[in-house]
Chain A
Amino acid sequence: MGILVITVKYKDNPIDKWLKKKGWFLYDHQVETFNLIKQGCDVILHAPTGGGKTIGGFMPSINDFINNNYESEVFHTLYISPLKALTADVQRNLLNPINDLQINIKVETRTSDTSAYNKAKQVKKPPNFLMTTPESFALLMARTDVTDLFKNLKFVIIDELHTFFNSKRGHLLSLNLARLRSIKPFQIIGLSATLKNTDLAKKYLSNNKDTKLVSTYSKVSPKITILKSDNRIPWSGHSPRYALSDIYLEVLKFKSSILFVNTRAQAEILFESLWAINDKNKKIAIHHGSLEKDLRKKVEKEIVEGHVECVVATSSLDLGLDWGNIDLVMQVGAPKGVARLIQRIGRANHTINTPSRAILVPTNCFEFVECIAAKECIELNLLEDEQYSDGSLDVLAQHIVGVAISQKFKREDLYKQTKEAWPYRNLNKEDFEKTLSFVENGGYSLQGYNEYSRLKRDGEYFEIKDKSLIAKYRMNVGTIVEAEMLRLRVSNRYLGNIEEWFINGLSAGDTFIFAGKRLMFEKVVGNIAYAKITALDHQKIPSFKGGNLPLSTHLSKSVRKIFSKQLDGVDLPDSLKKWSALQSKFSSFPEENELLVETFRRKIGNQEKYYMALHPFEGRNTHQTIGFLILRRIKKLGVQPFGFVANDYSILFSFSKEIEDIDFLFSQDILVEDLYEWLEETPLIKRLFREIAIISGLIYKNLPGNQKTGKQVTFNTDLIYEVLRKHDPHHILLKITTENAKKDLIDLDRLSNFLFRIKNKIKINKLNRASALAFSLLFEYHKETPDKNELDNFYLEKLEKELLEEVNAL
């Protein structure tokens, strides 16, 4: 913990009086934050969920406001959170003491849900404390009266600080904070429940200024158990079906529970399966990000009021909101990361000194090991280092438009100011100029759009050329680009958003599950998909891309460690003991830094298929890249590959004949030689380009007057990407795309660390049949081959039995 220097009598603080009246007291970390702010420092308050961060963050503000007897119209404190819902929640929490103490402080929220009328009113007569999101903050900063608006600002509070370090939203926020600082200096407080790399967190928050960290840990560690089931844990797949009745029994034991899953599809399946066995009529609800807003709000309200006893949720419930009395959190499926699991477990308890309860439910053998590893990490308080990313230039392009709308600027000043934002500290002049010229008129090398330029130059100054840009900027601000979505309408009400590509794969009469309802698809009109409720079975489940995070580097290391000890000393259920024994008997477990490669063949019908399984445990994204690269190498050896499948732990290739020279596949130059060639070909990069084209404002997703038609992006960005690569290969958008791809698509750092770690440590086991580790992917491989019944686990179980018999027959 930091140094506590009490120089001010915090006891005069009104909040303290209020707490006393309630029979509560201030935590040390709240007092320390208060004192440091008094001394003029910026502060990061790092405390676990239930640690009173909100009060801690606002106490200095409230105190300052009262002590200085500010006029009622002074806009004094700005609060920014990553979630709209959180702004309302914090407002509610703050109004309790304010109303009780009868202090005259006006607290309001401003998000995309705020009506235009209220927004206008707010600007004329600002509240004292304003709660907002990074996007709404950016819009405020793009006002022409920005200097006047913020002239009395004293404090900025950033909630859930850790969510901003590695995201484009975080880049946008940092740019606007840097600009605000140049308009009116302020003190800043960052709040977070999970922080590891505190030095970087300080830098992100206030660049080079002296920022103090106040950190406290929970005195009690959470009670984590792994669900015991008498049924056999499957070797593969992601279905918790084997443990369904055990899950239900746990749910029955607790008054209120959250069941976290990893994807929306899993949420839909678990929700439906629970209701199928819900003979005690427990009130079970579902919550995920694709559901219509009012449906989500209804569920949230019912949780708080205790009408819903159990909710199946995705990451949509991960952050911040205070759910009051949740007694139990279950994580169904792999935890994927330690910090993420802690965040989720934290939902179960909102007081700092009672342990949270959590039960982990692995859905296959690998996940069981991952659960053990995660549990150990939490018990030893070993968190991941957060990732920090360099500022992306598409976000800068968007920001420049906002700046230009607000004020004239000199390019030199803007460049300096941009570098004040920590993610952009290394921005070089050339990239800045290219970005500026892109904003101005497209920045094409041979020919620009001078006539329709967005900016006009007036001597040294830049400003917007005409007002038409303002509406476009306002309608398109933000850095979150979603897949093309259709709204789903069922008998006169909207249920939520569903990905266009999923609907395109349906024919009228096909059935699917959404929001826990069995629906029959009817038609698409404009951007609305119509469906009706049906009793028919055999549904498809929208699989929602992007819901699946890869296993974190940190957790993967712990998993590798457990495997390298042959699962020694781990309390294994019988089914896993058998799994582990099989692996030891017929192959081996990989040493900690070793890459285990297994080759084997199987006869399918009359055809011999050759397989090669790798077990790097580096997470799905990295495996995808390794998979593509090795596939290229296999082709170079003149062997016809059939393809590969990858999950968080392993990669499995199959091909037509035996590979003699396996070492060649892993030679070190694979990164240099093949990576960039592959990168240029992969369709994934076009998806990335689409995001960049929209964020940077090359194309607008929304145009004034276009919304009713439902037609959004009018251009095929794949075509733009191709024509740009051909005719203007040094264009700034292509550079951004490559940079983004290195980080997000292939996770270049992780990939090169992996190649470094396994250098000269490749162990090749030539086997007669698939090992226990490889089995898991063999199932997935066969699952992906037939195109229907993708989620039909019956098929998987049959295959699993077959393979088991094959092994038992030995």
Chain B
Amino acid sequence: MHYKDVFFADQHFSIFPNGELYWQRKKTLIISDLHFEKGSFFSETRQFIPPFDTIETLRQLTKFIDDHPVESIIFLGDLVHDKLAFQRMPGKAKELFFYIIKKINCTLTVGNHDDASFLRDIGLNLTKNIIIDDICFSHHATSDKKFSVFGHYHPKVRLKINSRGIWTSCFILNKEKLLMPSYGYFTGGLSIKKLEIQKLFKPEYEIYPLTKDRVYRIECKK
């Protein structure tokens, strides 16, 4: 599998095309914004989106775990799309999810979509943030510590290929902050050109756009 190495907070991480951030030295996988059952959430508005997105997301995750010696996973928040997600989740998906959290030490840094009262009972470590080696992992950006790894925004970027533009999700980082793309199947995105993201990263930053099987790197200065 293609990936790109990135040095953040003096640590060596790897960025994978599906949006995984892997910290090899700690055997820790970081993924963000899985939004389980986002598709079925819309059944409330009578839009019957195919209920297979959670399965897709979990299969992708399982494949990564099978290929790498992952010992712990940090879910950077918004694991579920809404508090009824587990009730709607197809049996197959549930099975897969509980298999993973049983096998691997999983922590969820709670996001705005996560309902703590329910998630506490299913065997996840819940916390607002985790600090490892001066890096703070949390759903929202924080300045508590020197380095912050976070999600929430679902960043995407427009690439020009052969004079045609395509949107891809991406990582974006500078010396102190690293913003993760969303890992869920149906999750949309916010352009990195938007003010909310720009004000966090200006003036000098790097973008890692993700395509189906490659990671790219673009430097942005000014």
Measured CB to CB, the residues of A under 8 A from B are: 438, 441-444, 446-449, 451-452, 454, 468-469, 472, 501, 504-505, 697-700, 703, 714-716, 719-720, 723-724, 726-728, 731, 787-788
Given A504-B158, A716-B188; 6 other pairs, CB 8 A cutoff: A469-B46, A698-B47, A698-B48, A700-B45, A715-B49, A787-B162
Asked if B33 lies at the interface with its beta carbon under 8 angstroms from chain A, I say no
A66 to chain B minimum Cβ distance, whole angstroms, is 47
A103 and B132 alpha carbons, distance in the complex (Å): 88
Once A504-B158, A728-B50 are accepted as A-B contacts, the answer to whether A719 and B185 lie under 8 Å apart by CB is yes
Number of interface residues of B (CB under 8 A): 24
**Which residues of B from 159 to 205 have beta carbons under 8 Å from A?**
162-165, 185-186, 188
Closest A residue, CB atoms, query B59: A726
A115 and B188 alpha carbons, distance in the complex (Å): 36
Q: By the criterion CB–CB under 8 Å, are B185 and A447 in contact?
A: no
A714 and B45 alpha carbons, distance in the complex (Å): 12
Q: By the criterion CB–CB under 8 Å, are A444 and B45 in contact?
A: no
B52: A residues at CB distance < 8 A: 723-724, 726-728
Asked if B127 lies at the interface with its beta carbon under 8 angstroms from chain A, I say no
B165: A residues at CB distance < 8 A: 501, 504-505
B158: A residues at CB distance < 8 A: 504
Counting from the closest, the 7 A-B pairs by CB-CB distance are A442-B48, A787-B163, A727-B52, A452-B43, A449-B43, A724-B50, A723-B52
A505 and B49 alpha carbons, distance in the complex (Å): 30
Q: By the criterion CB–CB under 8 Å, are B50 and A703 in contact?
A: no
Closest A residue, CB atoms, query B47: A699
A448: B residues at CB distance < 8 A: 48
A90 and B121 alpha carbons, distance in the complex (Å): 68
Q: By the criterion CB–CB under 8 Å, are A447 and B90 in contact?
A: yes
Measured CB to CB, the residues of B under 8 A from A are: 40, 42-53, 55-56, 90, 158, 162-165, 185-186, 188
A469: B residues at CB distance < 8 A: 46
Q: List 21 A-B contacts (CB under 8 A).
A: A438-B48, A442-B43, A442-B50, A442-B51, A446-B90, A447-B51, A449-B48, A452-B43, A452-B46, A469-B46, A472-B46, A505-B163, A505-B164, A697-B47, A698-B49, A699-B42, A699-B49, A703-B45, A723-B50, A724-B50, A727-B50
B90: A residues at CB distance < 8 A: 446-447
A442: B residues at CB distance < 8 A: 43, 48-51
Q: By the criterion CB–CB under 8 Å, are A720 and B50 in contact?
A: yes
B130 to chain A minimum Cβ distance, whole angstroms, is 31
A448 and B49 alpha carbons, distance in the complex (Å): 10
A472: B residues at CB distance < 8 A: 45-46
B53: A residues at CB distance < 8 A: 723
A452: B residues at CB distance < 8 A: 43-44, 46, 48
Q: By the criterion CB–CB under 8 Å, are A444 and B51 in contact?
A: yes
A472 and B48 alpha carbons, distance in the complex (Å): 14
Closest B residue, CB atoms, query A441: B48
A781 to chain B minimum Cβ distance, whole angstroms, is 15
Residue of A443, A449, A454, A714 with most chain B CB atoms under a 10 A cut-off: A449
A787: B residues at CB distance < 8 A: 162-163
Q: By the criterion CB–CB under 8 Å, are B45 and A716 in contact?
A: no
Pick the residue among A451, A700, A719 that contacts B47 (CB under 8 A): A700
Q: By the criterion CB–CB under 8 Å, are A468 and B46 in contact?
A: yes
A698 and B50 alpha carbons, distance in the complex (Å): 9
B19 to chain A minimum Cβ distance, whole angstroms, is 14
Closest B residue, CB atoms, query A464: B46
Residue of B46, B52, B164, B165 with most chain A CB atoms under a 10 A cut-off: B46
A788: B residues at CB distance < 8 A: 163
Q: By the criterion CB–CB under 8 Å, are A454 and B50 in contact?
A: no
Closest A residue, CB atoms, query B189: A716
A698 and B43 alpha carbons, distance in the complex (Å): 10
A699: B residues at CB distance < 8 A: 42, 47, 49
